[in-house]
Amino acid sequence: MSQEALHRVANLIQSAKHLVILTGAGVSKESGVPTFRDAMDGLWSQYDPQQLATPQAFEHDPRLVWEWYQWRRDLVHQAKPNAGHYALAQLEAQHTGEVLTVTQNVDDLHEQAGTRRIVHLHGNIARSKCASSCQGEPTIIDLNTLQTEDVPPRCPHCGAYLRPDVVWFGESLPPYAIARAIEASQNCDVMLVVGTSGLVSPAAQLPSMAAQRGAAIIEVNPESTPITPIAVAKLNDYSGVVLPQLLDAIGA
């Protein structure tokens, strides 16, 4: 990666009045969080993730689905933010314009690193909610307030099973989250796309949406993706490597 390319990207970001940061699984993977399909190993290697991450799977065998997600929660709990997470949080704190992070990740590593303005498109695996949404969608329940050995635990309001607060196959994204992400993408002048494959919709459409409105798309990814052709600049490295360098270039 040339210093010229780095400083060009730094100037674009520094001059942005409305910056959107879109992050994907690659950012969390650098912290040791397995991607969705990488999580299917060991005891879970016999399963297809699409057999476990659906409302139908939960209805058929709620205990199995809950235990798989509990295993994934334990993996996420052990992970810590990496240099890329911290650089993005610092970028938000230092930037003079508006900055919004839109993430496809279900962990809270961005928040742990200090990011404050964030939209979780696919939910938050650390949270649990009533499967019947008895108090509205979502009805979040703090597991620490429950005294039960039920697996899954049951909602203290209505008795329905609790489930992870994540988006499963066949479900719509949270209306507020996708509406806010679309609005920000349509109004930004720069979008920084970090560690996403560009294959999962509707998040994959956000960069194109921004580019059509005239925004400059900057991609950080060691691999080529469907986003690469519309990017005005591509930093071919891992986020934990390149983002601290980018932050230094902005500071300089």
Q: Is 185 annotated as a binding residue?
A: no
Q: Is 187 annotated as a binding residue?
A: no
Q: Where are the alpha helices (DSSP H) in the chain?
A: 3-15, 25-29, 49-52, 55-60, 62-78, 83-94, 109-113, 175-187, 206-212, 239-251
Q: Is 137 annotated as a binding residue?
A: no
Identify whether the C-beta of residue 244 lies closer than 8 Å to the C-beta of residue 87. Answer: yes
Alpha-carbon distance values, 72 to 32, 68, 75 (Å): 12, 6, 5
Q: Is 130 annotated as a binding residue?
A: yes
Q: Decide: helix, strand or coil at residue 232.
A: coil
Q: Is 114 annotated as a binding residue?
A: no
Position 47, amino acid? Y
Q: Is 132 annotated as a binding residue?
A: no
Q: Is 188 annotated as a binding residue?
A: no
Q: Is 124 annotated as a binding residue?
A: no
How far apart, in whole angstroms, are the C-alpha atoms of residue 84 and residue 241?
Answer: 7
Q: Is 239 annotated as a binding residue?
A: yes
Q: Kindly name the residue from 77, 110, 122, 157 that is annotated as catalytic.
A: 122
How far apart, in whole angstroms, are the C-alpha atoms of residue 63 and residue 150?
Answer: 9
Q: Is 120 a catalytic residue?
A: no
Residue positions in the annotated binding site for Zn(2+)? 130, 134, 155, 158
Annotated binding site: 69, 72, 104-107, 130, 134, 155, 158, 195-197, 221-223, 239
Binding residues for substrate: 69, 72
Annotated binding site for NAD(+): 104-107, 195-197, 221-223, 239
Catalytically active residues are 122
